Structure 1
Amino acid sequence: MASEALLNRESATALYMQIADLLRTDIDSGVFATDSKLPAENELTHRFGVSRVTVRQAIAQLLAEGYVVSKQGKGTFVSRQKLLHDLKPMRGFYDALIAQGVEPKTKLLEFTPASASEAVRQAFGATDADCFQLKRLYLVDDEPIALVVSTLPPEASGLTWEQVNRNPIYVLLENVLNMPVTKAEVRIRARSAGASVGHLLGLSAKAPLLVMERESFGNDGVLRERTSFYIRPENYEFSLSVQGPLPVGSSIKNVNGSSPRADKK
C-alpha cells in the first residue's frame, strides 16, 4: 500500500500529485476495490506526513479524473469501472451498455406531444403536426447515470406509453413504426448540469456533464429522431476507431464562434 516513504520531497512534482499517483496505483491494482471507501483524511495525512490541504488537493485530483466519488456525510469512494461507448457501430445508448455486460434500469419520465420549431418539423418531413418528446432516466445499480431527452416525429402518436417504456428508441423506430435508421450524426460537448437535469441525476447545478447530441436519419435523408444524452462523466467515456490519420484540429468546433487553431504537430 502507498506510504510516506514513497514520496520524493525533492522532486519537482508537487506532493499532492505524488499522493494522487500512489492512490491511483492502489486503485488500479485492486488495493482499494470498486465502491470501497478510501481512508479518512486524517489517516492519509498521518500516512504521508503531509498537511490536510495537501491530502485534499490529492483527493480533488482523483475526483476530477473520475477515479473516486464523494458522498456527502459518508466519505470518498472508489468509482465503478468506466462504461465505454464505442461510437463506430451505430447502436443505441441501451445497446451500448448491454454490450459491456451492464443491464441498466430505465424509468420513463415523460412521453407527450411537444411543439417544435419549423426547422425541426421540416427535417421530420412534417408540417403542422405535433412532434413528441420522450424523457427517460437510465440507472445502473440503482444510481442514475444519464438522462435522455428525445424528439420524435408525428408518427410517434401511434405509440403507447407501454411500448415506449419497454423499448429503446431505435427499436421503436425500426420495429414498431417501420422507420429504419441508416445514418446518425453525433456531437459531444461538456456543460454544467443545471438545476433540473442535476436534480434528476443527483448532481449539483454546477456539476459537469457529458452531453451527446444525436440526430438519426433514414435512407431518404429524413430525420428520424433527435436526442440529447446528459451523462454523468465520472463513469462513462467514448471511444472511436478510424482508419488513417485522425485530423483532430478540423474535427473540433468552437461553440463560442471562433475557429480553433489546428494542432500542427
Structure 2
Amino acid sequence: MEGNSSKRTAAPKRSKSTNEPLLNRESATALYMQIAERLRAEIDAGTFATDSKLPAESELTQRFDVSRVTVRQAIAQLLADGYVVSKQGKGTFVSRNKFVHDLKPMRGFYDALVAQGVEPKTKLLEFGPVTTPEPLRQAFGEDGGESDCFRLKRLYLVDGEPIALVVSYLPPQASGLTWEQVNRNPIYVLLENLLAMPVAKAQIRIRACSAGTSVGRALGLSPRAALLVMDRESFDGNGMLLERTSFHIRPENYEFTLSVQGPLPVGSSIKNVNGAASHDHAE
C-alpha cells in the first residue's frame, strides 16, 4: 500500500536510563565536545546553578555511555571555557560570573572588586620585615643600606572561596604600621593615608604561570594549576618606588579589560610563513 511505502524520519535514539537523546557517534564533532556542549547548555539554562557541584565522573560516564577518559576531556573543555572550576578534593563546580577588572582607572584590587558589586573578604597571612630583595634595594632608595623592607601576604575570598593571593613589598617606612592597620586597609590606603606617600602612577604587567606549591596551597589548587599574575609597581611624583605587588589570581573567574583610543598608527607590512609580505597593515 502507498501509506506503507512512505519513508519516515527516524527519531533520535534515547538512553534507556534517562530517556534523553544519545550522543551522535557518527558526527564529526568529537564525543567529548558533544558532552561539553550539552552540559554547557544545561548550565546556561540553570539546570546546574552557580556554585553547584557537577555530577561525578561515574554518573556522567553512565549517563552518556562513554569512558571516563571522554568525560574527563569534556570537563577539561568546560574548565578551559570558564564554565566550571575544580576544587581540590571536592569535585567540579559551576563557576560564578567573571569579575572584569578595568585597567584604565588607577585603583586597587580591592576597589576593583567592590566596583563590580562584590563584597570581598580578606585574610592577612603575613606582615613583617624581610631582607630587601636585591632588585628593590635601589628602587626603594636604600642605596646599599641594610634596612629591611616589609612583606605582606593577603588572601582574597569571595563567597568563602579564595580567588587571589597577594604578595606585596613595602619600603622601610612601613615599619610604623601595625598588624591591625595592615589587616584592615588595602595597600593604597596604607600608602596614602597612613604613610603619607601619595601614589602618582603605576606600571602593570600581566602574565601567566603555574601556581607552585605554596600559592597553590593557599588557593586550593594543584601546583601545576594555571594562574593569572598581575605585577604592579606604584611610584610617587618623583619616580620613587612605593610598593611592588604580585596578584596571583584564579583565572576561571577573572579577566582584565583595557579600552584604548585611536588614531590607529599604520605599521609595516607583515611577512607570511612563506616569507612574502602581506599588505594587511592592522589586525
**TM-score between both structures, scaled by the size of structure 2:** 0.79
Q: Tell me the C-alpha RMSD between the 2 structures.
A: 2.6
Q: What's 2:178 paired with?
A: 160
CA distance in structure 1 between the aligned counterparts of 2:88 and 2:151, rounded to whole angstroms = 34
For structure 2, the residue ranges without an aligned partner over 5 or more in a row are: 1-17, 268-280
CA distance in structure 2 between the aligned counterparts of 1:38 and 1:157, rounded to whole angstroms = 48
3-state SS, counterpart of residue 48 of structure 2 = coil
Contact kept in structure 2, 1:215 and 1:225, CA below 8 Å: yes
Show CA shifts across 1:39-94 (max 9, x none).
34344345445444322211121123331123456543211222221111111111
- Where in structure 2 are the equivalents of 1:196-215 lying within 5 Å? 196-215=214-233
Q: Shift of residue 125 of structure 1?
A: 2.1
Could you say if the C-alpha distance between residues 134 and 73 of structure 1 is closer, same or farther in structure 2, counting changes exceeding 3 Å?
A: closer
Aligned match of 1:236 in 243, 254, 274?
Answer: 254
Contact kept in structure 2, 1:108 and 1:136, CA below 8 Å: yes
Count of residues paired in the alignment: 250
Question: Once the two structures are aligned, what percentage of the paired residues are identical?
Answer: 78
Aligned match of 2:212 in 167, 170, 194?
Answer: 194
Contact kept in structure 1, 2:88 and 2:222, CA below 8 Å: no
Q: Quick check: 188-197 or 33-42, which moved more?
A: 33-42
Could you say if the C-alpha distance between residues 185 and 148 of structure 1 is closer, same or farther in structure 2, counting changes exceeding 3 Å?
A: same
Aligned match of 1:149 in 146, 149, 167?
Answer: 167
Matched, 1:125 2:141: yes
Q: Which has the larger radius of gyration?
A: 2
CA distance in structure 1 between the aligned counterparts of 2:39 and 2:211, rounded to whole angstroms = 28
Q: What's 2:155 paired with?
A: 137
- Where in structure 2 are the equivalents of 1:7-26 lying within 5 Å? 7-26=23-42
CA distance in structure 1 between the aligned counterparts of 2:231 and 2:169, rounded to whole angstroms = 11
Contact kept in structure 1, 2:212 and 2:222, CA below 8 Å: yes
Q: What's 2:201 paired with?
A: 183
3-state SS, counterpart of residue 123 of structure 1 = coil
Q: Shift of residue 29 of structure 1?
A: 3.0
Could you say if the C-alpha distance between residues 226 and 71 of structure 1 is closer, same or farther in structure 2, counting changes exceeding 3 Å?
A: closer
Q: Shift of residue 23 of structure 1?
A: 1.6
CA distance in structure 2 between the aligned counterparts of 1:126 and 1:75, rounded to whole angstroms = 48
Show CA shifts across 1:187-209 (max 9, x none).
11111111111111111111111
Aligned match of 2:116 in 100, 110, 128?
Answer: 100
CA distance in structure 2 between the aligned counterparts of 1:200 and 1:242, rounded to whole angstroms = 35
Contact kept in structure 1, 2:87 and 2:220, CA below 8 Å: no
For structure 1, the residue ranges without an aligned partner over 5 or more in a row are: 250-262
**TM-score between both structures, scaled by the size of structure 1:** 0.84
Q: What's 1:44 paired with?
A: 60
Show CA shifts across 1:73-117 (max 9, x none).
654321122222111111111111111111111111111112224
